[in-house]
Every structure is written in structure tokens, then in C-alpha cells.
Amino acid sequence: MTNKRNFDVLHDGTINKSVGFTKSEREVLGLQGLLPHSIASQDLQVSRVMASIRRKGFDIERYILLSSLQDRNEKLFYRVVIDHIEEIMPLIYTPTVGEACKEFSQIFRAPKGFYITPDDKGEITKILDNWPEKDIRVIVVTDGQRILGLGDLGANGMGIPIGKLALYTACAGILPHQCLPVMLDVGTNNGEILEDVLYLGYPKKRLQGQVYLDLVDEFVQAVQQKYPRALIQFEDFLTPNAYGLLNKYKNQILCFNDDIQGTATVALAGVYASSRITNRSFADLKIMFLGAGSAATGIADLMVKALEAEGLTTTEARKRLWFVDIEGLVVASRSDLMEHNLPYAHKHARLNFLEAIDSIRPHVLIGATGAPGTFTEEIVARMADINDRPVIFALSNPTSKAECTAEQAYTWSQGRAVFTSGSPFKPVHYEGNVFRPGQGNNAYVFPGLGLGAIMSDASIIPDELFLEAAFTLSQLVTIQDISEGALYPRLTEIRAISLEIAVAVAEKAYELGIAGNQRPKDLRTYIEEYMFDPRY
């Protein structure tokens, strides 16, 4: 029971239950006269919130409502998210979070998270003392330079860490007070934002080069000192920085990059599951990527590890994976490639996208471009010409950035596409069939992965843990899911899914000898008993 009383209770979102306080609780906490007479169950409160959400005319209004609810009644917020996950997730994360980030300074209501600017250089460890919670286990950090497919949003990108951590709690039960959203507010090169008088961020051009890297390193080292058991999730960094930071820290500290490794894990799980529809062995697949940035290359890198586990050599595995970017097929003769593209630059003639499909004849097409409509009718039809069941992944988000829609994929392939996307699409009716395109949402993986890592007190997150998570997720796809064309389980099962992934990841951490604690006799119960329960 809290020591707080009166309005201090009602103004503390971590303990407030509003009209859910019982008569005896109202007496003990000094709430008599401060609340209406009626006592409402949490279920009734959930119904009231959902009615309010559905009355709103725009998703951004629904986002603001939910954000305010999270501030004033944390447990009710998470009950709403968990009980109505398919309806609420698109409101607190993609696609609505993209709009919320663009309007972050305009819709700002109450501070959430921790901001670090270049003015804090040399003081980061000290100012972290201002954060009230000391037992932090998960940190999501961004510098706002590549928010979803929207580009450089500066400090407005804080909506991403806030949203991701809400999913950590809702989907995997990470305790809310153990979560810390961080914005490395190092400026922005977005002129429109800098000219906005309402912009709340550091109003200068973006910090770059060694001074930028030094600030990031100071933050990372400060976390090791203040929160030595915390997992750091890097989010929405520009590709060169994303890879540079991941490569620097992944073998030193407990961290991962969700855009690179989380996306890769979800995509790999989807490809594993697609083999149950196409009846083609994973080891025999040829896969083509449209887009050669951090997300696409991260998927390929993990697929190389997965193919090696199937018995292929590294060279053989890479030859199964092909890339097309804005300049055409990624081939060895090109001189404009970035370092992370070079392992996939095969000896081949230079071709455009359609020519590359004709020549390579891929079984799986994965889009991670941020460029809407790049999977045209001609492209999808050509994939359907060379495959009985063409596998089409349109992973770019938000929805407005998808390479094609679900309806387009099914229509242009005469209902034969095995389709998934990064943002949600409604079921599609085509010639008497109903297809439910499962969303390849990173929320299937990162919450459970993080839960497994922190419960085993892992020191690092090697590739083996991502492979374990991908395989576990693919095995949770049911016969019913497959019959509906879905490559992922229903989001309504996300808490159970996260638990299964957490157990598998923790088991692998113990097996690899990277766990920092002794394995409990009943690992599943140990993890399950930790998970946050938002019920009053």
C-alpha cells in the first residue's frame, strides 16, 4: 500500500485506479469526496475507454487519448492495450506513431522519457540521477534521424522509444518502471522542423562525426555504470550509424538494433513459415530484396546464419540472396556500394528490377525500401508467372510506405501470393476466398527476446538468440493461420508468444554460457511470474 494520500494518489499514474478504488481503499487513502460515488470494475473502465476511442474521428486523437491514459492510470492503459491488442497496437505504434512523431511538438502534453543533448556532454552519468527509477532493465534509444520511413524528425522521434517500450510491457510483461525511453537529441537537418517555432528539440544542425560518436559512447558507458543489467535497444538510426554502433557494441554489452536484427528475425520467421505453404525447403530458396539499407541487409545477414545452420557454406548461403536498389541489381562491378552491401554483390550483369526477377527467378521477394508502390502489378505478376505461390513481403512502414497493399498482391497474383507486410492490412476477399495477411510486426519478437535476455541476465545477444527466436515464432504459426494465408500467429496471442520466445532465448543463453545467473529449476514459471499483470 502506498504512503501517498488524497490527490497525490490520483495524480500518480502508477497507482491511480480512479473510480476503480473500492470503498475501503478510498477510506484508507483519503479519497472520500474526491471521486464520484460509483465504483467501477476495471472491465467496465476498459469498456468506457474503448467507447471513447471509437468516438474519436482521427487516429491521432486516439493516440493522444491513450497517451494521456498511460500518464494517469498505467494499469488501465495496459489492460486496454492487452485486451484489444489488434485494435490498439496500430494506434500506439505503427502506423499512427509515425503521424504522432511528425506532430510530436504540437501534441506534447506531459514529459515522458529522457533527453540527452550535446550540451550534456561530460554530464550524462550525473543527469541520469534525475531519473527516479534506479532498476532499469530495458532502454530504447534513438537519435531521430531515420524515423520509420519518414526520415529525420529530430527530437520528435521520441514517440518511437515511448511506443516500443509500451509494447515491451504490453506484449512481454516487462515492468513499466524498469523501462526507459531515451532521445539522443543531437539536432536535426530537417529545415522545416528547425523553422517550426513549436519544435521542442535541440534547434541546431545535426551533430556528426567523432563528436557524435563520443556522445553516444558516453551515453552507453553511463548506462553500464548506472544500470549495468539494462538491455539497450538501438532504434531508427541512419544506416551507417546503425551498423557502426551495432558492430562496435554488440560483442561488448547487452544490446541489439531492432531495425536490423529485430526486423531480420521477424522476416526469417515468416520465410520459415512460408515454406509450409509453398512446400519448398528453406535451404533451397532464392530470395531477392528490393532495398539495400540496414533493414534488408540485416535480414540477409541473419538468413546467412540460418542457411549455414542448414548445412550451407557462407559463400553458398550468400549466393541465395540478391539485392536490388535504386541503381538496379547489386553486382560486383558496381563502384557505388556501401560496405554492408559488398558480401551480396555477386558477379552478374547489371539489370533493372524486372530484368533481375527474370534472370534470378527468386522464390521470395522482400521489400524494405520506404518507397510506396514499388511492387507494381508487373512485378507481382512476374513473380506469379515463375512461382505457383509467390512469396511477397512488403515490409516498409507506415502503411503509406508499403511496397504494395495486400489487396494488390492477391489480385495481381490471382490469389496465389503468400503475402505479409510491415504494417497492418485488413482481410482481403478475392474470388470467394478470404485471406488474412499476417503483419510481420517486430512486436512478435523484440519483447520476448528482451524478456528472455534480461531474465537470464545475458551479457550479449549473439546471432544464435535471434535464430532461436525466429524458429520459435515460426513454430507457433498454426494450421488455421496457414489455411488463411497468414505467416504469423494472431496478435491476440502475443503474451503467450512472447513467453515462448523468452523461454527459448533464455534456454539458449544458458546453453551458450552467456547468462549471468543460475538457471532456475522451472524457467517458464520463473519468467511467467515476473511478467507485469495490469489487473487491479
91-253 has which fold? Rossmann fold (3.40.50)
According to the model, what pLDDT value does residue 28 have?
Answer: 96
Residue 103: strand, helix, or coil: coil
State the residue for C-alpha cell 510486426: 441
**Stretch 222-227: mean pLDDT:** 98
Q: What DSSP element (H or E) covers 456? A: none
Average pLDDT of the residues in 303-313: 97
Note the pLDDT tens digit of each residue in 50-84.
Answer: 999 999 999 999 999 999 999 999 999 999 999 99
pLDDT confidence tier of residue 294, bands split at 50, 70 and 90? confident
pLDDT of residue 239: 87
Q: Which residues are catalytic?
A: 93, 164
- Run of H or E including 293: none
* 282 phi and psi angles, rounded to 5 deg: -55, -40
Residues 488 and 439: beta-carbon distance below 8 Å: yes
In DSSP notation, 107-155 reads H--S--SEEE-GGGTT-HHHHGGGSS-----EEEEE-SSSBTTTB--GG
- Parallel, antiparallel, or unpaired: how do β-strands 255-257 and 287-290 relate? unpaired
Mean pLDDT of the chain: 96
Span 95-122, average pLDDT = 96
The residue-averaged pLDDT of 254-275 equals 96
User: If 0-12 CB within 10 Å is exposed, 13-18 middle and 19+ buried, where does residue 15 land?
Assistant: middle
φ, ψ of residue 183 in degrees (nearest 5): -115, 115
Q: Give dist(CA 234, CA 260) in Å, integer.
A: 9
Same topology, domains 91-253 and 261-439? Answer is: yes
Residues contacting residue 397 through CB under 8 Å, at least 6 positions apart: 94, 95, 98, 148, 149, 421, 422, 423
Provide CB contacts within 8 A for 141, sequence distance 6+: 161, 181, 182, 183, 184, 219, 232, 233, 234, 235
pLDDT tens digits for range 96-107: 999 999 999 999
Name residue, grid cell 516487462. 174
3-state secondary structure of 255: strand
Q: pTM score, two decimals? A: 0.94
User: In the predicted model, what is the mean pLDDT of residues 444-450?
Assistant: 98
| Reported confidence tier of residue 94, pLDDT bands at 50, 70, 90 | confident
Quick one: what percent of the chain has pLDDT higher than 90?
94
Poorest-confidence range of 16-20, 109-113, 176-180? 109-113
Residue 72, pLDDT score: 97
SS3 at position 256: strand
Residue 106's closest CA among 149, 63, 161?
Answer: 63
Residue 182, pLDDT score: 98
- Set of cell numbers at residue 529: 511470474
Tell whether the model's pLDDT for residue 293 goes beyond 90: no
**Mean pLDDT of the region 1-13:** 93
| Amino acid 125: pLDDT | 98
Please report the pLDDT score of residue 159 as a whole number: 97
> Would you say the C-alpha torsion 407, 409, 414, 418 has a positive or negative sign?
negative
pLDDT score of 1 more than 80: no
Number of residues that make up the chain: 536
Q: In the chain, what are the domain boundaries?
A: 91-253, 261-439
Question: What average pLDDT does range 472-496 have in this prediction?
Answer: 95
Any idea of the CA torsion for 516, 521, 525, 528, to the nearest 10 degrees? 0
- Would you say 321 and 341 are in contact if contact means Cβ atoms under 8 Å apart? no
Q: What is the pLDDT of residue 19?
A: 98
Q: How far apart are CA 393 and CA 412, in angstroms?
A: 14
Nearest to 273 by CA among 444, 447, 74: 444
User: pLDDT digits over 425-445, tens only?
Assistant: 999 999 999 999 988 999 999
Q: In which band, very low, low, confident or very high, does the pLDDT at 530 lie, cut at 50, 70 and 90? A: very high
CATH assignment of 261-439, among 3.40.720.10, 3.40.50.720, 1.10.10.10, 3.40.50.300: 3.40.50.720
Q: What average pLDDT does the segment 300-326 reach?
A: 97
Write down the pLDDT at residue 169: 98
The pairing of beta strand 428-430 with beta strand 433-435: antiparallel
pLDDT at 398: 75
State the average pLDDT over residues 184-199. Answer: 97
With a cut of 80, say whether residue 470 has pLDDT above it.
yes
pLDDT reported for residue 149: 78
Between 354 and 424, the more confident residue is: 354
**In the predicted model, what is the mean pLDDT of residues 502-530?**
98
Is 282:488 a contact under the CB 8 Å cutoff?
A: no
Model confidence band, residue 397 (pLDDT cutoffs 50, 70, 90) = confident
The yes-or-no verdict on residue 370 having pLDDT over 90 is: no
Strand-pair category, 391-394 with 418-421:
parallel
Residues 6+ apart with CB under 8 A from 89: 81, 167, 424, 441, 443, 491
Decide the pairing of beta strands 114-116 and 179-184: parallel
pLDDT band at 399 (very low <50, low <70, confident <90, very high): confident
